[in-house]
Amino acid sequence: MRVAAVMVALALGTSAAAAGCGGSEGPPTWVKPGVYRGTVGTQAVNLAIRKEGTDLTGAYFYERRKVDLPLTLGRRGETLVAQEEVWSGPEAGLKVTGCLTLAPNGAGLKGQWRRPDGGQPLPVTLAPLEVTRLPLNLPDSPGLRKLRTSDPLAFLKLNRPWVPSPDRTSIREPLTGLTYPRVPGGSAALNAALQDRQLLHAAYALGCRSQLGDAPAGGDGYTLTARVTFRRPQLLSVTENAGYYCGGAHPEAFDVGLILDRASGREVPVTAIWPGLTAPRLNSLYLARVKAEADCREALTDRAPTFTANLTPAGLAVTPTGLPHVVFACAQTIILPYASLRAWADPKGPYFRDLYSR
């Protein structure tokens, strides 16, 4: 998804020197990737240093706010200088809002935080945090375990009890407010897969919030609507509509259709149901049914878009993906009735009975 790479790049800072805090480029050699928990003054914080390519980058957040502050890492002799930077909009760019100077303290770090323009410094004490040993406060799932290692700061924010709806058909993640469906009585694997989709979007939303910094929002940050569109003994289908404005030139949006095996929770590709529904054939069927203006039809024909798809009671819903912003409005969803696809289905496949009578 396009939003992910942009968010990660800003959330983790850059390899430029921490010049605004009086540091030179590149952290001291003793600095290694790791996660720390401690205090800045009296405020509880969590800080992560990680390797991105050949560079070490960092970010930290205050427990009371839970918004990542990117850190550019530099040095002053053998002291680590971590320059806190906040995005202030396209015109102002990154603004230096704090300077952390840290040195080894046993297995942890110790130093101070000060404003870039001076003022009374605050003491900083950080101890190493073994995130992989922390208990899971949500149902165990592959995505939750992956998040714990790939993005420990997001894990620390999201690994807290979520709020089920009274009928248990959806759950709200309280920090971002994003809600996602669940299937009461469904398999543990299926509900774990649904949780992992929600985790992914919640991590995107946190990255968007960090990327906005103190720039005018100009929108709602990150929004998500997800709903079940099809439910049969073997298959469940969900459609996701996400929109975000994270400080760029304009808002963006994307749609995702999911077809899931209800027993295993795994995604089911369209070709597992309709082996004969090749990409060129799907493109031809889409263009034959879509009612588009000349400009959109030309854009869709020239670009040969990829598609995301979900099941509905009326047929297979197909939506173009990856279109540039200038022609994003051309991404109409069309429905291909199941009867029109039957010739390409596998009558011996495990999902045939969910869609057709033999």
pLDDT category at 22 given cuts 50, 70, 90 is confident
Within 10 angstroms of residue 243's Cβ, the number of other Cβ atoms is: 16
Structure tokens, 180: 């996602």
Structure tokens, 205: 């939303």
**More confident of the two residues 212 and 136:** 136
- Residue bearing tokens 């869709």: 300
Residue 25 has pLDDT above 50, yes or no: yes
The pLDDT of residue 14: 41
Residue 115 has pLDDT above 90, yes or no: yes
> Mean pLDDT across the stretch 4-31?
65
Q: Which residues contact 195 (CB under 8 A, 6 or more apart)?
A: 138, 139, 141, 143, 144, 171, 180, 182
Average pLDDT of the chain?
A: 88
| Predicted model pTM | 0.89
The pLDDT of residue 303: 65
Amino acid at 18: A
Residue 285 has pLDDT above 60, yes or no: yes
Within 10 angstroms of residue 97's Cβ, the number of other Cβ atoms is: 16
Contact between 10 and 210 under an 8 Å Cβ cutoff? The reply is: yes
Radius of gyration of the chain (CA): 24
Structure tokens, 42: 């009296």
Residue 3 has pLDDT above 70, yes or no: no
Question: How confident is the model over 230-252, as pLDDT tens digits?
Answer: 999 999 999 999 998 887 667 88
Structure tokens, 39: 């205090």
Q: Is 176 helix (H, G, I), strand (E, B) or coil?
A: coil
> Cα(358)–Cα(356) distance, rounded to whole angstroms?
6
Question: How confident is the model over 155-164, as pLDDT tens digits?
Answer: 999 999 999 9
The pLDDT of residue 325: 62
Q: Is 8 helix (H, G, I), strand (E, B) or coil?
A: helix
Element of type H or E holding 297: helix 294-303
The pLDDT of residue 240: 98
pLDDT category at 289 given cuts 50, 70, 90 is confident
Residue 1 has pLDDT above 50, yes or no: no
> Cα(59)–Cα(292) distance, rounded to whole angstroms?
46
The pLDDT of residue 304: 66
